[in-house]
Amino acid sequence: MAQTTLPLPPPLPLTTFTEDEILFRDNIRQFADEKVRPLVREMDEKGVFDKNLIHEFFQLGLMGIEIPEQYGGGGAKFFEAILAVEELSRVDASAGVIVDVQNTLVNNALLRWATADQKKRYLPRMAADMCGAYALSEAGSGSDAFALQTKAELKGNDYVLNGRKLWITNAKEAGLFVLFATVDPAAGYKGITAFLMEKEFPGFSVGKKEDKLGIRASSTCELVLEDCRVPKNNVLGEAGKGYKIAIETLNEGRIGIGAQMAGVARGAWEYASKYAQERKQFGKTIGEFQGVQFQIAQMATEIEAARLMVYNTARMKDAGIPFVKEAAMTKLFCSQVAERVTSLAIEIYGGYGFTKDYPVEKYWRDSKIGKIYEGTSNMQLATIAKLLLGSK
């Protein structure tokens, strides 16, 4: 029987850091520790993100990292956006996801698909003071994203939209939504169209805010569209090509979720390893017991592997190398690592870890969403398998 030779993957970009990247990362880390960390518990308990922090995100340039300087952005690379998401998530996953959605989904969609006029209208605001949200999911269309029921009908110079969106991150804070609807239900996915929806458009409203297990300070809301009028020139890309925008943007967004989960795991590990050197039992610190040492070592090893996957896939994206499989692997693995590491961190704290008086239980709660949003773990496995085996 003839043997099948699998093609070798392309050479991967190095994950070394430039001096500018190190400075950028360290500045975000310091900001997260000094400005975000003191507010984490209060924001989590209230389920509301501090508005002043969002203002500081804009002041620091964190909300327009890849936006060109001509529009007021940082003109940096995708890799820097990923570093920001990781460092913020190390302290608070809600902070990380706000910056993540802004950069890897909304800004990326505008940079890739917007017309010159749309860029001129929206990119300066996205860099200066306007939060963005990405509105694809509905009650009946989660993993089957293109089964959405929100309809858009062209009437004169406007599209009239009717329907509801669900699970929309950043909905309370956002002024601009990349929102998907179908202009032709009979056409299936080929009827899906992306719209640039402003919060003030008539017929548009933000509905119920979900009371969630984790990332509680990050708003997750329903959107309601009742004869909502959107100017025809606010179509993003082309009518009927929204499915392409959704797929390609989410491929990039999955790297961001990988970074968020790597940050969550790091944050939990840092607390657990420090506690292991402080807590005493049987006359010595628990970190002196081999069982705990092995747990700390295993956690650190998995975190390092997760971070390298994130960095490598981000470098591939910046280098123009195909990265869809690697993005799916990154999100899958990083979400698994985050759940394992945060759970072990609770166990290292023992009974204290199960209380809200100590920080590790929040990391565990925040980790769970990593296996769900922007494509469940099963959807990542399906994508990986298709690309490895060449199935359609």
Mean pLDDT of 200-212: 97
Q: What fold is seen in the domain 19-131? A: Butyryl-Coa Dehydrogenase, subunit A; domain 1 (1.10.540)
DSSP secondary structure string for all residues of 144-159: SGGG---EEEEETTEE
143, 379 Cβ separation under 8 angstroms: yes
* Identity of residue 54: I
Question: CA separation (Å) from 150 to 88, 109, 199, 248, 278?
Answer: 34, 20, 17, 21, 55
pLDDT reported for residue 15? 59
- Report, at the CATH architecture level, how domain 134-240 is classified: Beta Barrel (2.40)
Q: What is the pLDDT of residues 81-136, one digit of tens each?
A: 999 999 999 999 999 999 999 999 999 999 999 999 999 999 999 999 999 999 99
Question: Looking at the predicted structure, is the pLDDT value of residue 9 above 60?
Answer: no
pLDDT reported for residue 13? 47
Nearest to 225 by CA among 251, 247, 199: 199
Q: DSSP code of 187?
A: G
How far from chain centre, in Å, is Cα 336? 16
- Which residues on adjacent β-strands are paired with residue 231? 158
**Catalytic residue chosen out of the listed positions 173, 252, 326, 374:** 374
pLDDT reported for residue 390? 85
SS3 262: helix
User: What percent of the chain has pLDDT above 70?
Assistant: 96
Structure tokens at 105: 């989904």
pLDDT reported for residue 391? 63
For the chain, the domains span: 19-131, 134-240, 244-389
Is 134-240 in the same CATH topology as 19-131?
no
H or E element, residue 169: strand 158-169
pLDDT reported for residue 1? 41
- What does residue 157 show for φ and ψ, rounded to 5 degrees? -95, 5
Query: For 244-389, which CATH superfamily applies?
Result: Butyryl-CoA Dehydrogenase, subunit A, domain 3 (1.20.140.10)
**What's this model's pTM, rounded to 2 decimal places?**
0.94
Q: Taking all residues of the chain, what is their mean pLDDT, rounded to a whole number?
A: 95
Question: Looking at the predicted structure, is the pLDDT value of residue 180 above 90?
Answer: yes
Residue with tokens 């406007």: 158
Give the C-alpha separation, 363 to 261, whole Å. 10
Give the C-alpha separation, 313 to 13, whole Å. 9
56 among known catalytic residues: no
